[in-house]
C-alpha cells in the first residue's frame, strides 16, 4: 500500500521526477530560476487546482452512496 501524500509532497515528488528526466535527457543539470512573480503565479494556480480537485473528490464521495441507494430503491 502506498503512503498518503499531501499536495505539497506530490508536487515535490513530481518536481524531482521532472528534474531527473531532464538530467537524463540533457546529460547534466541546468540550473536556472524563473521570475519570482511567475513562480508565485504557478504556485497559486497549483494551490487552486489542488483545492478544486479536493472539492470534486468530496462531492464524488458524497454522491456515490446516494446514487447507489437511488438505483437500489427505484429498480
List, for residues 5-36, the tens digit of each pLDDT value. Answer: 565 565 556 556 666 655 555 555 455 667 99
What is the tens place of the pLDDT at every residue in 38-51? Answer: 999 999 999 999 99
Ramachandran area for residue 23 (φ above 0: left; ψ -120 to 50: alpha; else beta): alpha
> Is residue 46 within 8 Å of residue 11, measured between CB atoms?
yes
pLDDT-derived band at 2, boundaries 50, 70, 90: very low
Query: Cell numbers of 11, please?
Result: 508536487
pTM value surpassing 0.75:
no
Q: Are 29 and 18 in contact (CB under 8 A)?
A: no
CA dist 28 and 16 (Å) reads 14
- Strands annotated E in 2-68: none
Average pLDDT for residues 54-68, to the nearest whole number?
97
Amino acid at each position: 500500500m502506498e503512503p498518503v501524500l499531501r499536495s505539497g509532497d506530490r508536487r515535490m515528488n513530481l518536481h524531482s521526477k521532472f528534474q531527473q528526466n531532464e538530467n537524463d535527457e540533457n546529460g547534466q543539470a541546468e540550473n536556472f530560476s524563473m521570475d519570482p512573480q511567475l513562480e508565485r503565479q504557478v504556485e497559486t494556480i497549483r494551490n487552486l487546482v489542488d483545492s478544486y480537485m479536493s472539492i470534486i473528490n468530496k462531492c464524488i464521495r458524497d454522491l456515490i452512496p446516494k446514487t447507489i441507494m437511488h438505483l437500489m430503491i427505484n429498480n
